[in-house]
Amino acid sequence: GTDIKLSEEVKAAGGLAIIGTERHDSRRVDRQLRGRSGRQGDPGSSQFYVSLEDNLMRLFGSDRVAKVMDRMGLEEGEVIQHSMMTKSIERAQKKVEENNFGIRKRLLEYDDVMNAQRGVIYKRRKHALSGERIKLDIANILYDTCEDIVTTNKASSDFKNFEFEIISNFSITAPIDEEAFKEISENEIINQLYDELTAHYNEKITANAAMAFPVIKDVYERPGNTFERIVVPFTDDVKTLNVVTNLQKAYESEGKLLVQDFERNITLALIDEAWKTHLRKMDELKQSVQLAVHEQKDPLLIYKFEAFELFKAMINGLNKEVLSFLFKGSLPSQSDDQIQEARKRPTSQKNFRTSKDEVLNTDEMAMRNRNVGANAGGGERKKVETIVRERPKIGRNEKVVIRNVSTGETKTVKFKQAEPLINKREWVINN
C-alpha cells in the first residue's frame, strides 16, 4: 500500500519486486500489483509467470499457444517472452471481464424486481414502527380488501361466497342482501361495505379501550407501583399477541394508547412473517424460471411477471390477515382469580423482550395451555410412565404380511412401504 516505505538499501537493490505466479482473470488486479512495485516514483519491478494449465490459459487459447510452441520446437518449461503472448492473455482477460459484467448486470436486473417490492414493504413497516400513519394505512388496506372481495364475487355473481368472506374476515354479517348485491353497482357496494366496516371497527377499538382501562387504572393507582411499561394480551382465539404499552400514557389516554400499540404490533408482526415467506418463494421462483431458456423464452420476463403475481397475492393475503386480527382481536376473558394471580407475579421489566415470535399459532397455544395445566396441579410430582411399544421394532427393509381391514386381502411388502398404509388405518400387520 501507500504506507510501504523503502529504505535506501532497498532502493539501491532495485526496489520492491512483485512476482506473480499466474495472471488474474481481471486486468485490474494485475495492474494493481504492478503499481505496488513502483508506488510514489520508487524503483521496482514486476514479473508474471503463466502456465498453460492456469485457468485463464486453459479457458482461452491454451490449445493455440501449444500448437505454436510445437511448431517452434520449444521444450516444456522453456521461458517464452513475446508481445504476442501478452496481447493474447489480455484478450482472454477482456473476455472474462465482459462475461462477469454480463453476469452482474443480469443479477442486478433480478435484484431490481426485489428492490421495488422491498420498498413497498419497508414503507408499510416504517409506518407501523412509527405509528404516525397507521390509521391511514389501516383505512387504505380496508378499502383495498373491500374492493377485492366485491370485485371478485360480483364478477361471478357469487353472493354466498361474498357473505362468507365478510363473516370469516370481519366477523359481521353482510350489510346488503342478495337482491341488492345483484342490482346495485360495484362502487356502491364497495362504499357501503367500507362505511359499515369502518363504523364497526371504531366501535370495536372503543370497546377494547374501555375494557382495558379499568385494569390499567388499577395497576397505575396501586400503592408502590413502579411499572413504566405493561404487557396486555390480545387474542383472536387462534393467535395471541402480547402488546407492550406505556402505563402512564395508557392511563392518561384512558386506554386509547393501548389500542394504537395493538394496531402497530399486530401490523408489524404479520408484515415480517409474510415477508419472510415471500422471500423464500421468490428464491424458488428465481431458480425455476431458468428452465425457460430451454423453451427459448426470456427467464427475466417470466420472473418479473410471476414475481408481480406472487407479490400481489402476498399483499392481499397480508391485508386480510391484519384486518382479521384487528376486527376479531380482543382482551381474553379472565376470572378475578386469574387477574389477581397475574398481579402477584409481575413481569420483570429488566429482562423483558418483545418480538414477533410472541404471536403464537394454534399448536403453540395448545402446548402452552398443556404446560400451564400440568403446573397448576400443585407441588405433587407425577409418576414417570414407561413408554411401551405397541408392536415389536421392525426394520425398514424387513418384509411383513399386511391385511386390508375392509376386504381381508393380504400381501407381503417391505415395512417402509407398509408403514404409510398402516398409519392410514387401512391395513394392519397380520401376525
Q: What is the pLDDT of residues 114-127, one digit of tens each?
A: 999 999 999 999 98
Confidence of residue 341 (pLDDT cuts 50, 70, 90): very low
Same-domain pairing of 59 and 138: no
What values do phi and psi take at 359, rounded to 5?
Answer: -80, 105
Q: Which of 58-62, 207-211, 212-216, 370-374 has the lowest mean pLDDT?
A: 370-374
Rounded CA-CA distance 244/303 in Å is 41
C-alpha cell at 66: 501449444
Domain extent for 91:
8-98
Same-domain pairing of 24 and 146: no
Closest CA to 100 of 135, 56, 138: 56
Is position 319 within any domain? yes
* Number of independent structural domains in the chain: 3
Give the number of other Cβ atoms within 10 Å of residue 127's Cβ: 20
The residues, ordered by sequence, that sit 6+ positions from 191 with a Cβ below 8 Å of its Cβ are: none
More reliable by pLDDT, 160 or 349: 160
Same-domain pairing of 63 and 196: no
Domain boundary among 307, 337, 363: 363
pLDDT of residue 354: 44
C-alpha cell at 192: 357501503
More reliable by pLDDT, 383 or 109: 109
Is position 107 within any domain? no
Same-domain pairing of 59 and 182: no
Same-domain pairing of 145 and 292: yes
- Structural contact between residues 270 and 238, judged by C-beta atoms closer than 8 angstroms: no
Rounded average pLDDT over 322-326: 90
Same-domain pairing of 88 and 191: no
pLDDT of residue 390: 55
Is position 113 within any domain? no
Same-domain pairing of 151 and 285: yes
Give the number of other Cβ atoms within 10 Å of residue 326's Cβ: 23
Determine the Cα angle at 169 with ends 168 and 172, to 5°.
Answer: 75
